[in-house]
Structure 1
């Protein structure tokens, strides 16, 4: 049995997760080939192995023409400018649009199931936070192309790496505020806080870091796919360690550490 342990001492996001999986040995070409089964265009995957704090790891990113959007689309306004009806920036989508896109893909049944569950979890949180029917929720961060590729890519990575079981440490988030398309958000961001409702996911908050460490995508991954939280497994043998670097400057070592374990005979 292969167990993946996520050491989230600096939070978790989709790009950190995929960076860590690539650092563990995920085949980048195989990831690209599987993501091609989504039948969407307009993005480019990048990865680079580099050192931070003299520790080598992998930085992963989904590049989309025109840059990235972040946040729930409450109205047809973006960064103070009106976006015309039917022309949502970077094809912001309803949840049903995203689920239909995933269903229409040639991905495996397991990847489809996991990706849809993660999107639905995040959408339900956003709907509650913004007091809207689930069907009316629009997204930038979650609906935009980069996040669709991020979330589906994470599910593909788990299948390609033949992961049977996922354990995580308590998560860590920052504090303060971040600026998004429609204003300021407190950290932990509202969707992340909402996803804590009804769960036993442990989160430690660092008051010395004034930015987001846990993204809605990262929290959706954890809530949907992680089966338990606690220390490193005592009855399994670690076989490899990988580091996936985050994009934010936290003033410290911003990475997700992932450890592969094999069950002892």
Structure 2
């Protein structure tokens, strides 16, 4: 049986998931080809870079938004701890910052939960990829709806969060199925600590939507004052992982390291993925 183990010692985000899977041998050409089915190429481009995180050679994945090219330099600090919460422009996974951001002046390009479901369903992915992606999106949408006190069909994603999240979530679904994994397992999930600034004010870490998504998932204490796990990362784990444990007995085949944006003094900010065989 082929298993994939997420070793989330520094939390998890959507972009870290994609980069760790590709680093562990998933095919990024298949990812790029399949994502074209969404017909969103005019909105983004994908960027891959090799980075060293506290001595670990790891892969970094960025979704560069076309509409934001002009502030390219500070634009896409996209990783688990860099939600706009952290004062960065935005990140793959900050949907919860923007659940009602109609008020913030960006009236164009909002995507509702329903829009995203339609987009994914009409994209002609395999049934498994479609099903996995919708499960992950629904997990986020339901948590947002619950936190904000609104029904699922009223939940909206801010344009930036929507594009990033769609790519991260659909991309993760494509890669997981392409790898032919029989079972996904995971460590417990450190969420971070401290406070973050989001559109609605100053919030505790984990942000309410992240905590809601992780209901039923074991979370881990950490003294790092940062947001380690984003809603997208939380939803990926909540939907995909069937077992939570330390590294299981397995014959290790491939290992991948996916980099986050932030750098911490005491440990590498990476997500480690281990793929192998269990008899």
| TM exceeding 0.5 | yes
Q: Is residue 195 of structure 1 aligned with residue 213 of structure 2?
A: yes
**Normalising by the residue count of structure 2, what TM-score does the alignment of the two structures yield?**
0.85
CA distance in 2, matches of 1:150, 1:142: 12
**Normalising by the residue count of structure 1, what TM-score does the alignment of the two structures yield?**
0.89
Cα contact 1:19–1:243 (8 A) shared by 2? yes
Match of 2:174 in 1: 156
Match of 2:99 in 1: 73
Cα contact 1:31–1:157 (8 A) shared by 2? yes
Q: Is residue 246 of structure 1 aligned with residue 254 of structure 2?
A: no
Structure 2 CA distance for partners of 1:43 and 1:142, relative to 1, 3 Å: closer
Worse-matched range after superposition: 62-71 or 40-49 = 62-71
Cα contact 1:73–1:182 (8 A) shared by 2? no
Cα contact 1:122–1:195 (8 A) shared by 2? yes
CA deviation digits over 1:37-89, x for unaligned, max 9? 112221111112232222111111111121564323324233xxx34xxx24x
CA distance in 2, matches of 1:152, 1:92: 18
Cα contact 2:15–2:168 (8 A) shared by 1? yes
List structure 1 segments (4+ residues) > 4 angstroms apart after TM superposition. none
Unaligned runs of 5+ in 1: none
Match of 2:111, SS? coil
Question: Number of residue pairs matched?
Answer: 252
Match of 2:181, SS? coil
CA distance in 2, matches of 1:125, 1:16: 21
Match of 2:220 in 1: 204
Structure 2 CA distance for partners of 1:105 and 1:143, relative to 1, 3 Å: farther
Cα contact 1:93–1:143 (8 A) shared by 2? no
Match of 2:124, SS? coil
Unaligned runs of 5+ in 2: 69-74, 76-88
Q: Is residue 214 of structure 1 aligned with residue 229 of structure 2?
A: yes
Match of 2:229, SS? coil
Match of 1:27 in 2: 27
CA distance in 2, matches of 1:237, 1:227: 19
CA distance in 2, matches of 1:104, 1:24: 30
CA deviation digits over 1:19-47, x for unaligned, max 9? 11111112221110011111222111111
CA deviation digits over 1:213-262, x for unaligned, max 9? 1100011011111001002121x211111110112334431111110111
Structure 2 CA distance for partners of 1:192 and 1:141, relative to 1, 3 Å: farther
Q: Displacement of 1:211 after TM fit? A: 1.4
CA deviation digits over 1:131-155, x for unaligned, max 9? 1122111112785212101110000
Match of 2:125, SS? coil
CA deviation digits over 1:191-221, x for unaligned, max 9? 1111233x1x1111323x2211110001101
CA distance in 2, matches of 1:215, 1:143: 12
